Amino acid sequence: MTMDFIRSMVRRDLKTGKHDGRVVTRFPPEPNGFLHIGHAKSLCLNFGIASEHPGGRCHLRLDDTNPDTEKAEFVEAMKRDIRWLGFDWGEHLYHASDYFEQLYRYAHLLVDRGLAYVDSSTEAEIRERRGSIAEPGVDSPWRNRSPGENRDLFLRMRAGEFPDGAHVLRAKIDMAHRNMVMRDPILYRIRHASHYRHGDDWPIYPMYDFAHCLSDSIERVTHSLCTLEFENNREIYDWLLEKVDAPRPRPEQTEFAPLVLDHLITSKSKLRPLVEGGHVRGWDDPRMPTLAGLRRRGVTPEAIRKLCEMVGVARTQSRVEMAKLDFAIRDDLNERAPRAFCVLDPLRVVLANVPEGKGRMVRAPRFPGRTPRTDGGEGTDAEGERALPLGRVVYIERDDFREDPPPGFRRLAPGGRVRLKYAAVIRCEEMVKDEGGRVVELRCRVETEAGGGGGRGGPVRAAIHWVEATSAAPAEVRLYDRLFAMPDPPLDDLAGALATGSERVVARALLEPRLAATGPGEHYQFERLGYFFSDPEDCREGRLVFNRTATLREGWSEEKSAGAGVPTEGESAAKPTTASSGGDGARGVGRGRETGGGDPELPTGEERERYDELVALGAGGATAITLARSPALREVFLAARPVFPEGAEAIAGWLANDVARLLGSDERSGLGRLAPKDLAGLARAVAEDELSHRQGRRLLEAILTEGGTLAELRATLDLEEIGDEAVLAPMIRELMEAFPGRVTAYRGGQRGLLGFFVGQVMQKTGGRADPRKASEVAAALLGRADEC
């Protein structure tokens, strides 16, 4: 298993001792609804990471700072769902509302430091003055109240002296900040509402940005993992911890992409109207993407965890196809769901040559295809087989018989044969129809009793499920389909986007008799139909109710085998996608040409001037633009150029490519350490082949990260490179012997493999080989043998 970027980070932090060797994560849901499959990813991540490190732990923290929407009922449901998924918070159950007192003191600290103020504007005024993404906000007229006045007002807010909305406490940051979150965010609001845990103790409630980071800090969380939409909030997270002098090491927020599944919505607030509007049976409706709904449908915790594992964790925004969930479900259920027969739409079949009352029992495997137990252990039969009664009258699936079979149809048709699975091969001799012409009964003859092959007339193409008429157990079977037909349902009109027929209730299906005693919550695979789960609420002896968890993978369909025309249409249907993406590409090329291809745009006149000047001084076109936009780099260039005027282009290149990279990737490095004359000297040495480009780069890196002059470092740094063919050639020959397959592939035309051999040499020599020479020697050796 390869590690995701968060796990790598945790491991790195552990190694560097960043958090005193602790790993503490947390799962912080707001108890305003039910947990859904999107939460499962976060659960797997947070609890997973905690369990992967000795002493690691994951807190369950209810983020209950909004009394309007939160309920104890949701807390209980969340705890139940998390346990069901297989996670355990141990002693670490917390509530943000546990910290109300501490949070309130932190707020006072900010007030006293002049970093927070009471704003008496109306909600509309605050919104108005916040500005927009394009325009800066303006200061509130209440922004400069004295700390004393703020303190007094805030005290009185807490005392309940003011009505809702009269005042808010705001952080005093910057109303013109580019990040909207930083435009004096609201810390506290007045809300005279009963909190499900604290009743009417508090007339003021902290806002998310304020409560969240401080709750993490109070719990000494090390890694605060959240989804991508909180990226903008990281700045206020860090700002607040800094301004209240939160103890170090401080928790650090890292964002990852949420789990988004096609045809599903993963938003508690969008799910609630579906429940409250009566569009589904409840939060645990089997069609709901909630953990409770999935559980009721028969999806196992293992399947959900498997899905999360398959999906991984990254920062890329992504949509997962339902097929992946389906796979995870089937993969798990295939192993654990014993097979049974269920006929959803019964068609009566009379076996004419079976005498009345002359039934027999047939044996069928509970797990066909599973390697039979050979250890002879106790219970082998009971585990491995089931018994089915067979009599004169049976029911088969109406769909398994066609009066006019389409091409490719392998099941029963007039005059044709089919196998009653595990029991007998029958031939259809007669149809009985009602006045409406509807087939109501088939008269068949048993040709072969059980056994393999098909007896006379060659092999039978298909085996169908069936139940014996007198012993079959009636059951209600609920067939579920996706709640939304479109992959990306419109969040503003979910009720209108609901698919019709997402729940189909079959009132009287027939089950093989041993299932008559099924209790709630049992998994079965009804052969050829799918995976089913006896409803945990409604199923009991005497009233059997099953939910379809998932269908079987479809291997055949009438459309597919209806002729060659259809697949072709399918292909052409896929073409527009290809064409449109090609269109995008074409558009991009067109634009590029307009702006002069690789010649980057120079938006302002000032930059244009600098660019022209740099080009005149000898900087290359592509690098000049970089320097024109970076005053610091440009300054170094201007200072270094006179030292080595002929190397102007090289100097500019070093600056634009290598210095920019080092500055961007390593915070320890600093441009201040680089003397312009050293840069010029470096460029000259490389230009005159005193140093290889690689050596130059190593020197530059050393200067930027550790400091020192070029001369010093050239003397002290071990820059030696192995360029001797007498050393390199044997090494490469050895590699060629070790990887004969790659040699063949290289000679077969896979020239990219040269990089593999050079890379191996670089590794073997600890990076000290001269790669140019190594490449040369390797090419020669690989090529020479080619001629033999």
Q: Which is nearer to RNA, 435 or 554 (CB)?
A: 554
User: What is the nearest approach in angstroms of RNA to the Cβ of residue 181?
Assistant: 6
Q: Say how far apart CA 616 and CA 448 lie, in whole Å.
A: 95
Residue 553 makes contact with RNA by CB under 7 A: yes
Among 11, 18, 79, 130, binds RNA (CB under 7 A): 130
Q: Which of 79, 191, 281, 482 binds RNA (CB under 7 A)?
A: 191
In this chain, which of 16, 91, 248, 316 binds RNA, going by CB under 7 A? 316
Contact in structure between 102 and 62 (CB atoms under 8 Å): no
Residue 333 identity: L
The answer to whether 450 contacts RNA (rule: CB under 7 A) is: yes
Among 588, 642, 645, 730, binds RNA (CB under 7 A): 588
Touching RNA, residues 522-541 (CB under 7 A) = 525, 527-528
d(CA 745, CA 756): 12
Residue of 51, 334, 471, 709 interacting with RNA (CB under 7 A): 334
CA dihedral 270, 272, 278, 282 (to 10 degrees): 120
90-129 binders of RNA (CB under 7 A): 121-123, 126-127
Query: Which residue pairs from 300-305 have beta carbons closer than 8 angstroms and sit at least 24 positions apart in sequence?
Result: 300/329, 300/332, 300/333, 300/336, 300/523, 301/84, 301/85, 301/86, 302/332, 303/328, 303/329, 303/331, 303/332, 303/333, 304/37, 304/40, 304/85, 304/328, 305/40, 305/44, 305/85, 305/86
The CA distance from 434 to 455, in Å, is: 33
Which one of residues 372, 555, 605, 631 is an interface residue with RNA (CB under 7 A)? 555
Tell the smallest beta-carbon distance from residue 625 to RNA (Å): 5
- Binder to RNA among 144, 693, 712, 738 (CB under 7 A)? 693
257 touching RNA, by CB under 7 A: yes
| Dihedral in degrees, nearest 10, Cα atoms 451, 456, 460, 464 | -60
Name which of 362 and 475 has its Cβ closer to RNA. Answer: 362
Among 15, 248, 358, 591, binds RNA (CB under 7 A): 591
Q: Is 238 in the site for RNA (CB under 7 A)?
A: no
> Could you say whether residue 179 binds RNA (CB under 7 A)?
yes
Residue 72 touches RNA, criterion: CB under 7 A? no
190 binds RNA per the rule CB under 7 A:
yes
Residue from 694, 698, 733, 764 touching RNA (CB under 7 A): that is 694
Asked whether position 629 contacts RNA by CB under 7 A, the answer is yes
**Residues in 707-746 at the binding interface with RNA, rule: CB under 7 A:** 742
Distances (CA, A) of 672 to 676, 703, 704: 10, 10, 8
Name the strand (E) or helix (H) holding 588.
helix 565-594
Segment lying near RNA (by CB under 7 A), choices 40-48, 272-280, 433-441, 583-591? 583-591
Pairing of the two strands 393-397 and 417-420: unpaired
Minimum gap (Å) between residue 20 Cβ and RNA: 26
Q: What is the 3-state secondary structure (H, E, C) of 118-160?
A: EECCCHHHHHHHCCCCCCCCCCCCCCCCCHHHHHHHHHHHHHC
Minimum CB distance to RNA smaller for 485 or for 660: 660
Told to check if 468 binds RNA by CB under 7 A, we report: no
Kindly tell me which of 21 and 556 has the beta carbon lying closer to RNA.
Answer: 556
Q: How far is the CB of 479 from RNA (least distance, A)?
A: 16
Residue 105 Cβ vs RNA, minimum distance, rounded to whole Å: 19
According to the binding rule CB under 7 A, does residue 208 interact with RNA?
yes
Dig out the tokens for 649 from the structure: 């282009």
Stretch that binds RNA, among 36-44, 276-284, 420-428, 722-730 (CB under 7 A): 420-428
Of 562 and 715, the one with the shorter C-beta distance to RNA is 562
Is residue 87 a contact residue for RNA (CB under 7 A)? Answer: no
With respect to RNA, which residue has the nearer C-beta, 489 or 653? 653
Q: How far is the CB of 601 from RNA (least distance, A)?
A: 5
Q: Contact between 160 and RNA (CB under 7 A)? A: no
Asked if 14 touches RNA (CB under 7 A), the answer is no
Query: What is the 3-class SS of 470-502, one letter each residue?
Result: CCCEEEEEEEECCCECCCCCCHHHHHHHECCCC
C-beta separation of 517 from 473 below 8 A: no
Residue 544, SS3 per DSSP = coil
Cα distance between residue 362 and residue 341, in whole Å:
13
Residue type, 584: D
Which one, 28 or 301, has the nearer CB to RNA?
28
Separation between Cα atoms, residue 578 and residue 572, nearest integer Å: 10
* 189 interacts with RNA by CB under 7 A: yes
Instruction: Output the smallest distance, CB 143 to RNA, in A.
Output: 15
Q: Please pick, from the candidates 436, 458, 597, 672, the single residue that binds RNA as defined by CB under 7 A.
A: 597
The answer to whether residue 585 forms part of the interface with RNA (CB under 7 A) is: yes
How many Å separate Cα 634 from the centre of its chain? 43
- Binding residues for RNA, rule CB under 7 A, total 138
List 9, 138, 175, 320, residue binding RNA (CB under 7 A): 320
Nearest to RNA of 362, 503 (CB atom): 362
Please, what is the minimum distance in Å from the beta carbon of residue 131 to RNA? 7
Site residues for RNA, 497-526, by CB under 7 A, read 525
**Residue 403: CB partners within 8 Å, gap ≥ 6?**
413, 414, 431, 439
Rounded to 10 deg, the angle between the 37-51 and 72-85 helix axes is 60
User: In terms of DSSP bridges, do strands 417-420 and 463-464 run parallel, antiparallel, or are they unpaired?
Assistant: parallel
d(CA 360, CA 423): 10
Size of the chain in residues:
788
How many angstroms separate the CA atoms of 41 and 260, rounded? 10
Tokens in use for 462? Answer: 């298909």
Q: Does 66 bind RNA (CB under 7 A)?
A: yes
What CA–CA distance (Å, rounded) separates 535 from 539? Answer: 5
Near RNA in 742-771, by CB under 7 A: 742, 750, 752-756, 758-760, 762-763, 767, 771
Work out whether 626 is an interface residue with RNA (CB under 7 A): yes
Give least dist CB 543 to RNA, A: 26
Q: Does 197 bind RNA (CB under 7 A)?
A: no
Compute the distance between CA of residue 291 and CA of residue 78 in angstroms, rounded to an integer. Answer: 9
Instruction: Confirm or reject binding of residue 592 to RNA (CB under 7 A).
Output: yes
| 775 lies in the site for RNA, by CB under 7 A | yes
**Residues sharing a CB contact under 8 Å with residue 421, sequence separation 6 or more, in sequence order:** 341, 364, 463, 464, 465, 466, 527
